Structure 1
């Protein structure tokens, strides 16, 4: 018997994910490593199936934003390299180490916290720290249960993002500390682009200055006898603008999920998420009838209204009220009235062939897509796809 799941769901097309990855590989140097961003539940798509598909397609490293995201991958059976993209509070460092994640060192204070935890053992640590280490070790696969094994780390340089990272002139000293620690080795040296997805000449020049700065830091480390590891900076925007930003490793995110600029203007990325629901009610209303909370929409003529079992609690933006469209049997229809927590309404027009149970595409590769919804409400596609609620089932299709 087919499993009964909620009518409102998202379909994740893993074959489209692999196509996007394949198109990305065509525009970066063959030897460039790929670190695929799977943070935020793989941008709302469902991290474990997405991560498995990426690993099967040859992705060497996965990127997460917190140690708890890393531990979810480990508990799901992933034993590959995982890059922890940002700093954490000190309490989370034992989990980072025990899970075998590769943390990014952003400043001297974070490195000091890491050094302190690495120096601990259950015998020398205070009771709170020792218990935390043992608890984290107990939930991890055997491969990652040694708190004091040598740990790969990456050094983050702030070349203009202004978020996290050490100053370029601080990098040599931090690299020396990392290289001199028996429990650490420097696996990479990185920065982050704030405007690599822009064709504005000033932004292009700024990105190029960041690349030059990062390369200069790497050169200084080599001159000091320190291997900087993988040099990496490029996100989806950087990959799309120019292959020369690829360096030793790229960190694609939104491009894999089907949004953002096409690499070098070539094959457009394919949205891999399709947000769908089904019609649960249809009623004919007279001209002048108001629909939904606040009476924000009034029927200009006699028309048919369909009710859908989806709302802002599922991640469909309330700001799309009276602005967006949905797709039913290949035709677009306007969303009317205020979008509710669990329901929304669509104007089918004065005559309709729609029936109860018909499928409705809210967004996806057939259109409208998440970028279109984002433009309506003044945000970006990232926020739309990441905002799909956990209560919406994910269905993974090959």
Structure 2
């Protein structure tokens, strides 16, 4: 495959397929699989990823906001789409585009019932979020009778799933808390099921949950970060493949003498004769200032080159002293020989923030499954 000629994020659908199949293998065949494609599919391309996941056999998709779901529908996605954090101002659009809202508070539940009744809906699929300890969204246990009464007293809604979210499923030191969440979810969901008179899908496991607590899979699991190649655990990371590789090129190489300084605020001082390369990528692309001042680096022909000085809006500078390279050569920021987790940790952050922060002006290049990279 030709080297990059600009800053580009390569999206490997073969890696996505591998991750989906690996995660699917960890649960029983009768357990449904929900794939999370919010935030542009964790910084990649939500439409491309959703289409591939449909092909792979995912049962459900999930997004954070309504506009994300609308984009998928407008691009031909037909699988059920759960909207995790809807606002009542978008309820008509939800129904118009056959999206399925998470109803997480009394106000949201009442407002959706009102909208559904006004639009003459019947058995419209909704999802009920229970709070079991994460303390973000969701109904608390004392609210379950109210939730049940509101739902059973209208013919407009049909609960498609009841779910909750684990707070620390990747951390074995928090095992007691996680087991407590699972037990509370079991009690709360069955309390609601008994009042509804039917059993919707039940799900609490995220990526780390389905790996570490497979007996808590209930009837569906959700995976976001795992699909994109990250398991929140070194052993699991070794089984997964990051789908994204961020590449760029060397724009210019400058020879500097000892004592010269580089970039804004003269943040890097050259201590010996050096070669400094300029790259066309910066914090406006998602490579933030936290990676500058030699905290992180990139790979040039398989060799590590530290980022020097402050990261600029559209430019970073790297030290290529001793590396055989020239202007126009390819540079790998993360992916391939440099795992994105390692790059993120060098800047004091996590892979989630790194990969979801790659801006839309960076060209996406799709690598189909089965292609040679």
- Whether TM exceeds 0.5 here: the answer is yes
Give 2:169's aligned residue. Answer: 196
What are structure 2's unaligned runs of at least 5 residues? 369-373
2:313 to 336, 341, 364: 341
> Equivalents in 2 of 1:170, 1:191: separation in Å?
15
**What is the CA deviation profile of residues 34-76 of structure 1, one whole-angstrom value per residue up to 9, with x for unaligned ones?**
1111000101101100111111000111000111110000001
**What is the CA deviation profile of residues 112-145 of structure 1, one whole-angstrom value per residue up to 9, with x for unaligned ones?**
1001111224xxxxxxxxxxxxxxxxxxxxxxxx
Name the SS of the counterpart of 2:317 in structure 1. strand
Shift of 1:169: 2.6
Matched, 1:213 2:213: no
> Equivalents in 1 of 2:131, 2:9: separation in Å?
37
Shift of 1:85: 1.2
> Equivalents in 2 of 1:149, 1:52: separation in Å?
29
Name the SS of the counterpart of 1:255 in structure 2. helix
Q: Is the 8 A contact 1:221 1:228 kept in 2?
A: no
Q: Is the 8 A contact 2:130 2:164 kept in 1?
A: yes
Name the SS of the counterpart of 1:211 in structure 2. helix
> Equivalents in 2 of 1:66, 1:352: separation in Å?
45
Name the SS of the counterpart of 1:17 in structure 2. helix
Report which stretch shifted further, 149-158 or 320-329: 149-158
Give 1:45's aligned residue. Answer: 44
Q: Is the 8 A contact 2:148 2:195 kept in 1?
A: no
> Equivalents in 2 of 1:191, 1:6: separation in Å?
45
**What is the CA deviation profile of residues 337-371 of structure 1, one whole-angstrom value per residue up to 9, with x for unaligned ones?**
1111111111111x44201110000001321x322
Give 1:115's aligned residue. Answer: 113
Give 1:104's aligned residue. Answer: 102
The runs of at least 4 consecutive aligned structure 1 residues that moved more than 4 Å come to: 262-267
How does the TM-score come out when normalised to structure 2?
0.93
The structure whose RCO (Cα within 8 Å, separation 6+) is larger is 2
Matched, 1:275 2:274: no
Name the SS of the counterpart of 1:170 in structure 2. helix
Shift of 1:263: 9.8
> Equivalents in 1 of 2:152, 2:302: separation in Å?
59
> Equivalents in 1 of 2:189, 2:306: separation in Å?
54
2:146 to 173, 184, 190: 173
Give 1:330's aligned residue. Answer: 302
**Number of residue equivalences:** 366
**What is the CA deviation profile of residues 74-103 of structure 1, one whole-angstrom value per residue up to 9, with x for unaligned ones?**
001111100111241x21111111111111
Shift of 1:242: 2.1
Q: Is the 8 A contact 1:24 1:263 kept in 2?
A: no
Give 2:371's aligned residue. Answer: none
RMSD of the TM alignment (CA)?
A: 2.0
